Amino acid sequence: MNTSNRAKKVAVVGAGISGLVAGYELQKQGFEVTVFEKEDEVAGRMFSKISGNLIFDAGADFFNSPYTTLQRLAGELGVPWEETEEGSTHKIIRNNKAYNLDLASPIGILRLNILSFKSRVAFLFWLLRIKMMKTKLDFFHLSTIPNKYNLRSTKELLEKSGLSEVMNYIADPFTSLMQFHRTNEMSEASFFSLIQLMLSINGFRVCYTKGGINSIPLKLANKLKVKNSCLVQRIENSELGVTVTHNQGKEVFDSVVVATTGNVASELLSAAVVNKNRNEIFDSLHYSTTITVSILLPKEAVKDSTYLCYVPFVENQIIAGLANEIRKDVQMTESGMSLINVYLHESSASGMIHLTDGEIFEIIKRELISCCKNILTVDIDMKLNAIKRWKFAMPKFTSVLIDKVRNFEAEGQGQDNIYLAGDYMASPWAEGAARSGERVAKLISEKFT
């Protein structure tokens, strides 16, 4: 570790999972870490709200078995890591009928009755070719994937492979529910690596943390010096180090980790020394928008063992899908009631984001009854629990963005002791964001060793 007379001071701007992980790992290495967060709560898009005994996970709704970094942190921090109830199923809607989604085995794929038999066979052979690829692709760090897998969109890839039906009823609904945008804005590198991950030996079992999706961020924050309600206004270089200007004053640090969303990072760094590769990331970065609608209903209202239900855009242009929260934990009930979280397609969310909660809820109720009647008991009494609007829900991992992140990581990351961390650094989902924070902490630690 550094042999100077004082510990190196590091500022982390943003108390989402990437910033908290970066701060936590640096503090373990002996750095003096201060985390700045403009909100009065931490966790960012790993947001949970508790009402009575019911937990509304408004951003990230669940984890899955390949989330090794978050699972390790849960163990270190004493956060219970659980799997969804045995038998929980995923379903997709077509022509108002719900079909089981099972990609775990060749038999499961051949039983995908939502597709024509010809499409099932073609899809199976296509998946087998991906499974047999010698190149291992990292979904949680897309910029490490060879550029030959990053030349077009997922939509172009599937259409040219003769898999248009797969695109409309498997890939597009999955992308819309998990990433809140369409396959025309998802790079083939993202899709190739995601499929490879889902076909891995460890599988893709849905997991969660007891107490809410924010349990790990809260535990991390408790171990760090976090300044909540502290709005950082500018980050710039100075003779003494890196100056952070915020609504409570100015402070100078040896290094700064900017772990906000990319649009905010761009504004904060406008006064810093120009970094061409960093600016190209910001110029190519676009976010998807969604709205999470949490609905209170009788726990028996969701039929069968459905956990996730996907609604393809070709079937309904408003609802992207729903999550049945009771499948996480049998204790997720209160007086016989439970929650479903409903997610919207980006185009509808963008058009509805300025409506009142009541107006949004009335639209969602109508659409649920229209397109999900095979999943929900139609004559149930639905009540609005909460609504969360996400204008910057998730980066769109386009081929261009991934290429720009690759360039920045090769030449630009750490210039003048300023580092970027977050999912938009070609690091999808909560696991990717956490690993991005880990990578930055390692870079800083190595620099001052």
pLDDT at 2: 43
pLDDT tens, 35-67? 999 999 999 999 998 877 788 998 899 898 899
Distance CA 169, CA 161 (A): 15
Lowest mean pLDDT among 226-235, 372-381, 425-434: 372-381
* pTM of the entire predicted model: 0.94
pLDDT value at residue 377: 80
Q: Answer left, alpha or beta for residue 19, where phi above 0 means left and psi between -120 and 50 means alpha.
A: alpha
Lowest mean pLDDT among 58-62, 130-134, 143-147, 352-356: 130-134
Residue 223: the pLDDT is 97
Per-residue pLDDT band at 1 (split at 50, 70, 90): very low
- The pLDDT of residue 205 is 80
Q: Which CATH number fits domain 9-45+213-285+396-447: 1.10.357.10, 3.40.50.720, 3.40.50.10490, 3.50.50.60?
A: 3.50.50.60
Q: Rounded CA gap, 90 and 252, in Å?
A: 50
Burial class (CB in 10 A: 0-12, 13-18, 19+), 215: buried
Domain ranges of the chain: 9-45+213-285+396-447
**pLDDT > 70? residue 3:** no
**What distance in Å separates the CA atoms of residue 404 and residue 142, rounded to the nearest whole number?**
11
In this prediction, residue 330 carries a pLDDT of: 57
Residue 275 has a pLDDT of 95
- The pLDDT value given to residue 26: 98
Phi, psi of 296 (to 5 degrees): -90, 130
Placement of tokens 């108390």 in the chain: 15
The residue ranking higher by pLDDT, 99 or 197, is 99
DSSP-derived secondary structure letter, 46: S
| pLDDT tens by residue, 303-360 | 878 889 999 999 999 999 999 988 887 556 677 888 999 999 999 999 999 999 999 9
User: DSSP state, 293?
Assistant: E
Tell me which amino acid residue 315 is. Answer: E
Looking at the predicted structure, is the pLDDT value of residue 202 above 90?
no
The pLDDT assigned to 378 comes to 64
Q: Which residues make beta-bridge pairs with 321?
A: 310, 343
Instruction: Tell me the average pLDDT of the chain.
Output: 92
Share of the chain above pLDDT 70, in %: 97
**Confidence class for position 224, pLDDT limits 50, 70, 90:** very high
Sign of CA pseudo-dihedral 104, 109, 110, 113: positive
| Kind plus residue range of the DSSP H or E element containing 89 | strand 89-94
Phi, psi of 146 (to 5 degrees): -50, 140
Q: What would the pLDDT profile of 405-432 be if each residue is shown by its tens digit? A: 999 999 999 999 999 999 999 999 999 9
Contact assessment for residue 307 and residue 90, using Cβ atoms and an 8 Å cutoff = yes
Of 345, 371, 68, 325, the C-alpha closest to 213 is 325
